[in-house]
A and B are shown apart, each in its own frame.
Chain A
Amino acid sequence: MEIFRVSRDVYGREVLQGMSWDLLWVFFAAGIAFVCLHALYSWLLAPKRPVSRQTR
């Protein structure tokens, strides 16, 4: 997987074109992975705040 998009100019030199769009799925997957890990941590492992007494 490439990190950058490059092309060659008329002299054959490499020219930077931008980020590789193959990375779109990496960043999308990172977002989904963060959500899953945080949800699991919050559900299973995170310490719970004591419920404060509230006047009802």
Chain B
Amino acid sequence: MSATTTASAGEARTSRIVRHALADRLFHWINAASVLTLLGTAFLPIMGYQFPWVTAHWIAGIVMIAAIAFHVARSLLAQNLRSMLIGPRDLADLTAITKWNLRVSGDAPPKPGKYSLAQKLIHLLFALVLIAAAVTGALMLVRIDTPWWERDPYWLSETTWGVVYVIHGLAALLLVTMVIAHVYFALRPDKLLFTRSMIRGWITREEYETHHDTNRWQVKE
């Protein structure tokens, strides 16, 4: 191996590719902290750990709504939204992944772009469930006293409030399962590079070339 090749290989290992900008990482961790606070303040009292949870719950909810609004605005205005949308190539990937896992095909599935189909699906699921929780939670703010208004429990009919509470509760229960699965994947050894990129922002060029189709995710040099 020549000195030039060795230097090139060393550069491939150490040069860094930005996967998540600071603003996106801050959104992720603020959202994670608010969701965990919301789940803790919702379910710990139900499990028998009594404490004054309402204020912490609605404040965490407002933080989460603000974070989601920021993320949606940034996604639409400053990011490549297509990298997270599920398209025809993802469906072709799904076919290849299914055949590969069922051993129908011996060809390994194609490498993904910036996000794999599984990552896009969990993002979509989190988006739907968090928006459902946020909208119903925002409505439920009408029923509590805040520094800005006094509670009005009669703003909606009893039946409509029941539906709102069912949607909010179902979203919260789904989040329990989804957070467990999300943390599990974040801690799997083969996924730690993605977790590191959500903390420090980057993956190495070697990881980029090993785990991604460099045509589907083209990075600026």
Could you list which residues of chain A lie within 8 angstroms of chain B, going by C-beta atoms? 4, 9, 15-19, 21, 23-24, 26-28, 30-32, 34-35, 38-39, 42, 46-47, 49-50, 52, 54-56
Is B101 engaged at the interface, CB distance under 8 Å to the other chain? Answer: yes
Least Cβ–Cβ distance between A13 and chain B, in angstroms: 9
Which single residue of chain B is at the shortest CB-CB distance from A6?
A: B162
Is B82 engaged at the interface, CB distance under 8 Å to the other chain? Answer: no
Contact partner, A18, options B5, B8, B169, Cβ 8 Å? B169
Among residues 143 to 166 in chain B, which have CB atoms less than 8 Å away from a CB atom of chain A?
158-159, 162-163, 165-166
Contact partner, B176, options A28, A39, A50, Cβ 8 Å? A28
User: What are the residues of chain B within 8 A of A34 when measuring CB–CB?
Assistant: 177, 180-181, 184
CB distance B170 to A19 under 8 Å?
A: yes
A16, A30, A39, A49: residue with the most chain B Cβ atoms closer than 10 Å: A16
Contact partner, B177, options A15, A19, A28, A46, Cβ 8 Å? A28
Determine chain B's interface SS by DSSP, over half rule: helix
CB distance A18 to B12 under 8 Å?
A: no
Which single residue of chain B is at the shortest CB-CB distance from A18?
A: B165
User: What are the residues of chain A within 8 A of B210 when measuring CB–CB?
Assistant: 52, 54
Give Cα A46–Cα B158 distance, bound, in whole angstroms. Answer: 50
Is B93 engaged at the interface, CB distance under 8 Å to the other chain? Answer: no
Give Cα A16–Cα B101 distance, bound, in whole angstroms. Answer: 44
Known: A46-B101, A56-B9. A27 touches B173 (CB 8 A): yes
Give Cα A46–Cα B108 distance, bound, in whole angstroms. Answer: 12
Least Cβ–Cβ distance between B140 and chain A, in angstroms: 10
Which single residue of chain B is at the shortest CB-CB distance from A19?
A: B169
Known: A47-B100, A49-B108. A27 touches B177 (CB 8 A): yes
Is B220 engaged at the interface, CB distance under 8 Å to the other chain? Answer: no
CB distance A31 to B165 under 8 Å?
A: no
Least Cβ–Cβ distance between B167 and chain A, in angstroms: 9
Give Cα A26–Cα B172 distance, bound, in whole angstroms. Answer: 13
CB distance B173 to A55 under 8 Å?
A: no
CB distance A24 to B180 under 8 Å?
A: no
Least Cβ–Cβ distance between B183 and chain A, in angstroms: 9
Among residues 1 to 52 in chain B, which have CB atoms less than 8 Å away from a CB atom of chain A?
1, 5, 8-9, 12, 43, 46-47
Least Cβ–Cβ distance between B60 and chain A, in angstroms: 18
Contact partner, B158, options A9, A23, A32, A56, Cβ 8 Å? A9
Least Cβ–Cβ distance between A54 and chain B, in angstroms: 7
Least Cβ–Cβ distance between A53 and chain B, in angstroms: 11
User: What are the residues of chain B within 8 A of A32 when measuring CB–CB?
Assistant: 180
